[in-house]
């Protein structure tokens, strides 16, 4: 692909807060973000998605309608970004759409992953080819299908002669370990913002704890933190991936039932959940690095208390966000899917077998032409 080619990336993660859309451009020196836009999910769509993920069952009528509704929201977000950027559909080579994960089951008898958001409808409503369904080919070769972003992190953020850690803190947190020998390792560490968001929504009817204001009012409940850390997932060796299927409000309430928390406030639980995320992320970083630069992206990068705790727990690491690598931390994953769309259009295998455990690297994604 020639320098100057534009791609769009669409990302909606496990936090279910917004649809992030970016325009990125291939340049002679790399791949750069040009513009970004975050569109809040319509409340009725968000509620329906949360119910589907929570209940783990849905009738076919609701599933089909939600698939279409989500795709229409994605197309609207793309068209809005084009209007704001001054670019037009013919200037965009392709869209890369992650879709919305409603279930991820990589370890069962018949492993599968399910993302919704009809790519054909996105292509039709935008007039731009849309690449989607990135995970299933990796799973067809025995991989976890997740996380996909470490290959992008390696392509964009690796630096010769340096080791780096990229930490993506969305609903689920994942790390990418970038080494000077060009090998990449990555996996989901566990909850990022998901449990914090679920708890503040349950107790304060807020979608997230802005600036950690609620958590800052509390103190860590050590007994609860110890109980949370007994989850077997944290002892599991990579490759591994997880999601809302495991870490959700029901799981949290089950953990709370095992600990006496009557004397503690809701804010204390919120603070403990923040510490839980910080500890599980930092423990995994320490396994792979005695000290190097670590760059945080995703919504967690905007949580000052979480960032402070990571730095305290990792005193030998310099903790920054990806602004210092020239990409807005809120849009790194969306840029990753623009990059994945480019790789698909070039028919390039994405180097992920060391991350996901697949038997081989594969060309990822299906192309839907308008």
Domains of the chain from N-terminus onward: 6-147+331-368 (3.30.420.40), 153-325 (3.30.420.40)
CA-CA distance, 364 to 132, in Å (whole number)? 9
In terms of residues, how long is the chain?
370
Could you give the CA distance from residue 247 to residue 363 in angstroms, rounded to a whole number? Answer: 30
Determine contact, residues 184/154, Cβ cutoff 8 Å: yes
Residue-wise DSSP of 99-118: -EEEEEESSSSS-EEEEES-
pLDDT at 184: 82
Q: Calculate the CA 323 to chain-centre distance.
A: 17
Q: What is the pLDDT of residues 143-188, one digit of tens each?
A: 999 999 999 999 999 888 889 999 999 999 999 999 876 678 999 9
pTM score, whole prediction: 0.93
| Helix, strand and coil percent figures for the chain, each rounded to 5 | 45, 20, 35
Q: What confidence score (pLDDT) does residue 15 get? A: 75
CB of 190 closer than 8 Å to CB of 231 = yes
* Closest C-alpha to 219, from 305, 299, 304: 305
> If you write DSSP's letter for every residue of 197-234 in order, what string do you get?
HHHHHHHH--SS-GGGTTGGGS---HHHHHHHTT-GGG
For 290-307, what is each residue's pLDDT tens digit? 889 999 999 999 999 999
Q: What is the pLDDT of residue 4?
A: 66
Distance CA 349, CA 363 (A): 4
- The DSSP 8-state label assigned to residue 41 in this structure reads P
Cα–Cα distance between 81 and 225 in angstroms, integer?
A: 42
Q: Which pLDDT score is estimated for 306?
A: 98
> Is the bond preceding residue 158 a cis peptide, omega within 30 degrees?
no
Q: Cα(318)–Cα(292) distance, rounded to whole angstroms?
A: 7
Q: Which pLDDT belongs to residue 290? A: 87
Report the candidate in 340, 338, 335 with the shortest Cα–Cα distance to residue 298.
335
For residue 55, what pLDDT is reported? Answer: 85
What Rg value do the Cα atoms of the chain yield, rounded? 20
pLDDT of the residue at 29: 78
- What residues of the chain score a pLDDT lower than 70? 1-4, 181-182
What's 359's DSSP letter?
S
């Amino acid at each position: 692909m020639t320098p100057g080619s534009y791609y769009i990336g669409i990302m909606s993660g496990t936090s279910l807060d917004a649809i992030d859309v970016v325009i990125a451009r291939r340049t002679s020196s790399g791949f750069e973000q040009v513009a970004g836009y975050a569109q809040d999910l319509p409340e009725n769509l968000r509620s329906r998605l949360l119910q589907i993920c929570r209940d783990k069952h849905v009738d076919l009528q609701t599933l089909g309608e939600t698939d279409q509704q989500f795709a229409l929201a994605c197309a609207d977000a793309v068209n809005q970004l084009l209007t704001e950027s001054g670019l037009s559909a013919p200037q965009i080579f392709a869209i890369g759409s992650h879709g919305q994960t409603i279930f991820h089951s990589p370890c069962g008898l018949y492993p599968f992953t399910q993302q919704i958001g009809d790519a054909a409808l996105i292509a039709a409503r935008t007039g731009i080819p849309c690449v989607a369904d990135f995970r299933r080919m990796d799973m067809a070769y025995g991989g976890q299908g997740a996380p996909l972003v470490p290959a992008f992190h390696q392509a964009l953020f690796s630096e010769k002669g340096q080791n780096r850690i990229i930490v993506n803190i969305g609903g689920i947190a994942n790390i990418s370990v970038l080494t000077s020998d060009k090998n990449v390792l990555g996996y989901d560490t566990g909850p990022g913002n998901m449990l914090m968001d679920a708890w503040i929504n349950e107790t304060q009817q807020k979608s997230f704890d802005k600036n950690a204001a609620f958590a800052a009012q509390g103190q860590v409940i050590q007994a609860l933190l110890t109980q949370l850390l007994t989850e077997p997932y944290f002892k599991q060796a990579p490759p591994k991936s997880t999601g809302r299927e495991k870490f959700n409000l029901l799981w949290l309430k089950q953990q709370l039932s095992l600990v006496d928390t009557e004397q503690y406030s809701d804010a204390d639980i919120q603070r403990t959940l923040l510490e839980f995320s910080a500890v599980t992320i930092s423990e995994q970083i320490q396994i792979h690095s005695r000290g190097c630069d670590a760059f945080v992206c995703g919504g967690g990068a905007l949580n000052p208390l979480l960032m402070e705790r990571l730095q305290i727990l990792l005193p030998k690491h310099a903790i920054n966000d990806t602004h210092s690598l020239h990409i807005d931390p809120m849009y790194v994953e969306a840029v990753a899917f623009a990059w994945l769309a480019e790789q698909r259009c070039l028919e390039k295998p994405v180097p992920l077998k060391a991350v996901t455990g697949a038997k081989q690297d594969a060309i990822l994604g299906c192309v839907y032409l308008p």
